Amino acid sequence: MVGLTKGKGWIVGALVAVGALGCGGDEGGRSSGTSLTGLTGLSTDGTGSVTVTGDGPGTADGTGPGQDCSSDEDCPPGQKCGAMSQQCLDPTGCVLDADCDEGFSCDQGTCTIGGDCGGFVFQFEQVPPNLLILLDRSGSMDGDVPGTGMNRWEVARQAIDQVTTQFDESIDFGLATYSSCLPGGCSAGSIVVPILPMNAALIQGFLDNTVGVGSSNGMGVEPDGRIRYLCDSGNPETSTGVSLQALVGEPSLQDPARTNAVLLLTDGGESGECTGSIDGPGGAANLLGQAVPVQTFAVGMGGASIAQLEQIAMAGGTTTPYFADQPADLEMALQAIAAAVASCTFQLDEVPPNPNEIYIFFDLDPAGVPMDPTDGWTYDPATNTVTFHGASCQAIKDGTVVSIDIVYGCNMPPVG
């Protein structure tokens, strides 16, 4: 079982060790007609008949759970008639092993995985998504942000520090900046911090060594040793499209077991001189169209073009851009994106012998979660992962689901 706990801004998996629940034969508690040991409320008369005593599941007036029955219709709504005990029971209740479905045995009044089903409970862990932050370093990022005493680069750096710290355990971050400030302008961006687990310190360390001041090649040095990182070359440098296109095929964004996404953060409209080969929406569409799709989230500040950002977000599969100029608003936008890429994919510790015998339950609900690519779950044999979709994924993200059980071989959640 994985218990899900709220943390880092969304629901993240906390692995609880669960041993495989082996299913033995009759020795595991299955009883014969004349030997009923360890069954509360049962006695035998030596002839093989079974009598329910006053300590059993019945009630004093013969109604409610435990009343005699010959079919489910004889029982109150929501109860079943035990196949062998002929007593009204809760859906997972039992008196005898034979009251349970095949593959389950009666353990202290509850049907649990056992018997001949060959079932077990998977251990699993949430798979963190890959998120590459693509940060505009054009000269206009030195523009003042009213009321803050900071420029756009400094506000962006502060927001990135905050979001990478908050989601460090739950997202594998990386950082790219654009352009690369090469002669002639319009160069594609460069990955400056590769995508890695627990990467906040490396990203923050890189940004802390920069200052939001321009230099002709983006490599000027301040008296304190920090780099004048903004590209103030005099050439067009907001090369959004070619920078997104350069990430097509990037190996660190082609992990089929994970969600892969780019977070574009820019303060201006794309330079028209840089769109000769491809523009921002075209680059975003090509990222999304790969065999392993990469979504593009678009965030604008300062003089960013909302129209261009809308086109990029639509082409990149995220539909709606964000615009935020004040520090608090920008931090909220980045938090919302981080929550949106929260993983609904889980890596199993064992390969199921038959994927058609995987059963999944939220909060021990016997109804289970359907195998359904729209609002349920799917299994990927290539990566041995289970991914939740639609309403099921949202329930995990927003904390509606407290626990998940992934069971093999037996269509019932484990007890405990």
Q: Comparing C-alpha atoms, which of 349, 344, 363, 374 is closest to residue 405?
A: 363
Residue 155 CA to residue 330 CA, distance in Å, equals 8
State yes or no: pLDDT of 59 exceeds 70.
no
Domain boundary among 292, 315, 340: 340
| 56-70, 302-316, 328-342, 343-357: least confident range | 56-70
Residues 330, 411 within the same domain? no
User: Would you call the peptide bond into 140 cis, given omega within 30 degrees of 0 as the criterion?
Assistant: no
Is residue 110 classed as helix, strand or coil in its secondary structure?
strand
Find where tokens 């003089």 sit. 303
State yes or no: pLDDT of 17 exceeds 80.
no
- Indicate whether 26 belongs to any domain: no
Residues 72, 176 within the same domain? no
Q: What is the pLDDT of residue 66?
A: 74
Domain boundary among 321, 340, 359: 340
- Indicate whether 407 belongs to any domain: yes
CB 237 within 8 A of CB 138: yes
- Indicate whether 30 belongs to any domain: no
Domain that holds residue 334: 128-340
- Indicate whether 53 belongs to any domain: yes
Compute the mean pLDDT over every residue in the chain, rounded to the nearest whole number: 84
Q: What is the pLDDT of residue 201?
A: 98
Query: For the whole prediction, is pTM greater than 0.75?
Result: no
Provide the domain count of the chain.
Answer: 3
- Indicate whether 47 belongs to any domain: yes
- Six-digit token pair at 10? 């969304």
Beta bridge partners of 295: 261
Q: Which is higher by pLDDT, 128 or 398?
A: 128
* pLDDT tens, position by position, 165-205: 999 999 999 999 999 999 999 999 999 999 999 999 999 99
Residues 52, 87 within the same domain? yes
Q: Which is higher by pLDDT, 104 or 315?
A: 315
Residues 146, 205 within the same domain? yes
Residue 61 CA to residue 289 CA, distance in Å, equals 67
Amino acid at 192: V
Taking residue 287's Cβ as centre, other Cβ atoms within 10 Å add up to: 25
Residues 100, 168 within the same domain? no
Residue 212 CA to residue 94 CA, distance in Å, equals 70
Instruction: Please state the rounded mean pLDDT for residues 209-237.
Output: 97
Domain boundary among 340, 372, 396: 340
Q: What is the pLDDT of residue 165?
A: 96
Q: Comparing C-alpha atoms, which of 303, 298, 304 is closest to residue 319?
A: 298
Residue 371 dihedral angles phi and psi, to the nearest 5° = -75, 105
Residues 297, 278 within the same domain? yes
In this structure, the strands spanning 403-408 and 2-7 are: antiparallel
Residues 8, 140 within the same domain? no
Q: What is the pLDDT of residue 415?
A: 65
Residues 336, 349 within the same domain? no
Residue 332 CA to residue 280 CA, distance in Å, equals 24
CB 232 within 8 A of CB 215: yes
Helix extents (H) in 239-370: 240-245, 280-288, 306-315, 327-340
Q: What is the pLDDT of residue 349?
A: 94
Is residue 109 classed as helix, strand or coil in its secondary structure?
coil
Residues 194, 270 within the same domain? yes
Residues 93, 231 within the same domain? no
Helix (H) or strand (E) holding 237: none
Residues 168, 222 within the same domain? yes
State yes or no: pLDDT of 43 exceeds 90.
no
Residues 336, 376 within the same domain? no
- Indicate whether 27 belongs to any domain: no
Q: Which is higher by pLDDT, 251 or 409?
A: 251
The DSSP code sequence of 49-68 is -EEE-TTSS--TTS-STT-B
Instruction: Please state the rounded mean pLDDT for residues 348-352.
Output: 94
- Indicate whether 28 belongs to any domain: no
Amino acid at 180: S
CA-based max dimension of the chain? 100
With bands split at pLDDT 50, 70 and 90, how would you rate the model's confidence at 102?
low
- Indicate whether 29 belongs to any domain: no
Q: What is the CATH number of the domain that holds 226?
A: 3.40.50.410
